[in-house]
Amino acid sequence: MTEGGKLIIFSAPSGSGKTTIVKYLLDQPELNLAFSISATSRPRRGKEKNGVNYYFMSVSQFKRHIKDGDFLEWEEVYRDNFYGTLKSEVERLWAEGKNVIFDIDVSGGLRIKKKFPEKTLAVFVKPPSVDELKIRLKKRSTESDDKINMRIAKASVELATAPQFDKIIKNYDLDVALNEAHRLVAEFVGAEMPPKED
């Protein structure tokens, strides 16, 4: 892969608020960020669009890309439920002169960090507690109780990996978490923070 801008990874258990933080950062023009769209073999949910939310593929297509070495990282999160980052996606964004931001799961985030240690800022978003996570996931009402329990079990494992990240943001108060994320990324990419409005 040809090297380009910086890589910023946000990982967290489901329901920690990382997607909200990433969306906020993408709206800050001085950071010059572009979002890396992941590939997945899971079915679309709701109004999701191919090439916007994810690159949707069949399981066999996904496995062919694995065999061809097309992924920067990939993982089988649940059985036949694959997620991954295509090398071509990162190269496309680097070619546009952008820093690339990822909203990906913990092991994928750590794999990218290992491949590009100097260019990557890996941030772990920590929820207030596992109980709070359960409440947030239930509020979404997009998944069955079984699926939520699977996510909660996975969250406990993911929380144990937090010390392997460069930075940990505790998302107890969203405004505080957004400000901290903004400051960290601005420092990392060498951007000036805009003056605070009174």
**Segments of the chain scoring below 70 in pLDDT:** 1-2, 197-198
pLDDT at 77: 81
Distances, alpha carbon 141 to alpha carbons 151, 161, 171, 183, in Å:
13, 27, 21, 33
**DSSP at 192:** P
Task: Report in angstroms the alpha-carbon separations of 7 from 33, 120, 154.
Answer: 9, 5, 25
So what CATH class is 7-37+91-189? alpha beta
Q: What is the CA radius of gyration of the chain?
A: 17
Which residue in 108, 154, 102, 147 sits closest to 127, CA to CA? 154
**What are the tokens at 26?**
């993408």
Instruction: Give the CA dihedral 28, 119, 166, 131, nearest 10 degrees.
Output: 60
Amino acid at 167: K
Structure pTM?
Answer: 0.88
Helix (H) or strand (E) holding 186: helix 174-189
